[in-house]
Structure 1
């Protein structure tokens, strides 16, 4: 049954999210039963906890409403197919945390950290950190394999699966390409807003919104016109989503976001916030950013000095403006897109969830 939002509008996404969670639990429990008594079972349980604990389920929701917007009927098969994108997302997060050396995700230890802690607690031989990283890489790869399995055995007609494959494969390639761009920009140092937006587009925007929508639409057999509308909507919302993520990474409260607000600064992340601040900084402000941004031992005092520059140069205000502009653009696409009315309402709710979030 659809629940009521506090503002009186029906929450069209909550019930779908709950069904996706049930499907994820059932699928992962099945994989876990296959390892009963095996040494890998405790590590599989860590993956299960990682996937099921927290998360917005944004990508499965977009896949589901991409299907419904194209006229697809509600059914168990689309829930299974949509849930596959959450397992693919887990692969991305696990590997991203390894590459960034992150300690926390969703308020809990990252997977490589949890595995390393298990190694230490059991007094196993060798280096616990190396064991944690190696195991997390393998478990991340396993999640990508499981995502394929869940999608391709979802029960959606084979012809529709074939139609969705190109969008699914592009999503997988694009996120790897974007991640590599991110690493390159960190290595190069201070960047431009244009280059930062290119990283953002491929690392997050496409695989977060555009491709999940198109996978859902292609599974439903939708028209090229609808898929094109999904692309325009998806890029706008996806960029806004990542821009909000960058703001939260710099200014968010770790008790709310579940992630440290120093990691992006310490890693020298090539965000639009930083790029804009450098382009509009005084010589003194530029020196401060170039000195502190990417400093692996940056403390809270140093981070506050960076935040002050981000505000004083107008970078924070500029990024907030970019988020608002993309939100408006996405709403304009929805207003004229040839999609079903319930899906239009649900996608409107997802715009708000993506762009005005605090976590």
Structure 2
């Protein structure tokens, strides 16, 4: 049986967890209104559904204005922003912006509306990362709809006959769309109605997160041809997922609320551990999930030969016979449906899937224990607890 092993990184040892084996008009930044008009009770912690409504109400008019700005440049540029808006509206739980606003509120922040640009920047960056990730993974779907690349494949169908050349230009357009969103993430922070010193701090946090996630993405992309053991999948999970999806949103919220360095360090640990747990769940869903729920392929991790923690757990627990069969099927882009199903069966029969599920539980419990060290009230501690459970128990 494969188990989670202790391998601490600046956090207290606690049982079998932590490291697992294995011409532009300035956009108008809309304010949704005073808190009393949002339907959000000030007597309870901010809820994900309310946060999502606030952030979407901020971003939607921003994207409409940028689309109009692009129209004045060229109708084809307008099309790109229309596609970005379409993809943004197609799905997403807006958890990163929620973490920013919840943390800000938990540490005494009183003006959620003023902090919306900083929260919204997390979602713009996230969409950029998803668009770029889909290019790297050669995926065609996101949120159950055609992603940016596939939208441009359709746009260019009557213009470019050669399918390889058409996809090249479609991926180029998608790459540019992602770049635009990264730029806009910085821009919304720069235009926020907060102190200039805070703006600089938030942009620095955003920049560090991008530095980390790009490093993780590169290492993840190289694993299929560099081979098993070339990079620790846990390092990839920390860089690629925990950095910008958890640590950065939590620290931005804490910085805006001027939380103490000690509290920010606890949040950093929480973000790292929750981010790894989230990635572990992603690894499982990437193979055993339901594509109609996840909105993306559940085969590409197998055909691309992604060396995830799930795969590392398999290589540790599988028999020699299972390994030999697995190695003939895993990482084959021409793998048949039966081949892919067989790989999934091997991952389950070896005990790898069960081992990762146990690791996720260990991370979940540790994250809950960290909450006890946060200097926040009970309602916000409960809200963070619900957030932890949502991240690790999800099926999308």
TM-score (norm 2): 0.85
* Count of residue pairs brought into register by the alignment: 352
The 1-side partners of 2:83 and 2:379 are apart by 37
1:314 alignment partner in structure 2: 351
Q: Please say if 1:88 is aligned against 2:104.
A: no
Shift of 1:81: 1.2
2:24 aligned residue: none
Could you say what secondary structure the match of 1:156 adopts?
A: coil
1:280 partnered with 2:317 = yes
For residues 138-189 of structure 1, the C-alpha deviation after alignment (integer angstroms, 9 at most, x for no partner) is: 1110110011111221212212222333322210100000001102212223
- Output the TM-score relative to the length of structure 1: 0.93
Alignment of 1:240-251 (within 5 A): 240-251=277-288
- 2:243 counterpart of 1:206: yes
Q: Following the alignment from structure 1 to structure 2, what is the Cα–Cα distance between the partners of residues 320 and 159?
A: 43
2:197 aligned with 1:159? yes
Counterpart Cα distance in 1 of 2:60 and 2:183: 17
**Distance in 2 between residues matched to 1:21 and 1:272, nearest whole Å:** 34
Among candidates 50, 57, 72, match of residue 15 of structure 1: 50
In structure 2, how many angstroms separate the alpha carbons of the residues matched to 1:119 and 1:73?
49
CA deviation profile, 1:11-68 (whole Å, cap 9, x unmatched) = 7221111111111101111111112252210111001111221011111111111211
Q: Which residue of 1 aligns with 2:159?
A: 123
**Off by >4 Å, runs of 4+ in structure 1:** none
Equivalent residue for 2:361? 324
Deviates more, 1:166-175 or 1:133-142: 166-175
Q: CA RMSD in A?
A: 1.8
Distance 1:191 1:108, change over 3 A: farther
Q: Distance in 2 between matches of 1:123 and 1:259?
A: 27
In the alignment, which residue of structure 2 is the partner of 1:197? 234
Cα distance change of structure 1 residues 55 and 249 upon mapping to structure 2, 3 Å threshold: same
The one of 293, 300, 305 aligned to 2:342 = 305
Distance in structure 1 (CA, Å) of the matches to 2:223 and 2:269:
26
- Is the Cα contact below 8 Å between 1:331 and 1:348 reproduced in 2? yes
- Counterpart selection for 1:53 from 90, 102, 125: 90
Q: Match for residue 65 of structure 2?
A: 30
**1:92: how far off?**
0.5
Partner of 1:338: 375
Q: Distance in 2 between matches of 1:143 and 1:313?
A: 42
Work out the CA distance in 2 between the residues paired with 1:210 and 1:227. 10
Establish whether residue 227 from structure 1 lines up as the match of residue 228 from structure 2.
no
Taking the aligned partners of 1:176 and 1:307, their CA distance within structure 2 comes to 29
- 1:94-124 CA-to-partner distances (Å, cap 9, x unmatched) read 111101101111111121111111111x435
Asked if the contact 1:189/1:268 (under 8 Å) is kept, the reply is no
The whole-number CA distance in structure 2 between the counterparts of 1:206 and 1:320 is 22
Query: Structure 1: which 5+ runs fail to align?
Result: 4-8
Deviation for aligned residue 1:74:
3.4
Paired residues of 1:190 and 1:290 also in contact (CA < 8 A): no
- Give me the whole-angstrom Cα distance separating, in 2, the residues matched to 1:30 and 1:346: 34
User: 2:181 aligned with 1:175, yes or no?
Assistant: no
Cα separation, 2, equivalents of 1:11 and 1:66: 10
Q: Which residue number corresponds to residue 185 of structure 1? A: 223
Return the alpha-carbon distance in structure 1 between the equivalents of residues 342 and 174 of structure 2. 34
| 5+ long unaligned stretches in structure 2 | 1-38
Q: CA deviation at 1:319?
A: 0.6
Write the distance in 2 (CA, Å) between the matches of 1:289 and 1:217: 45
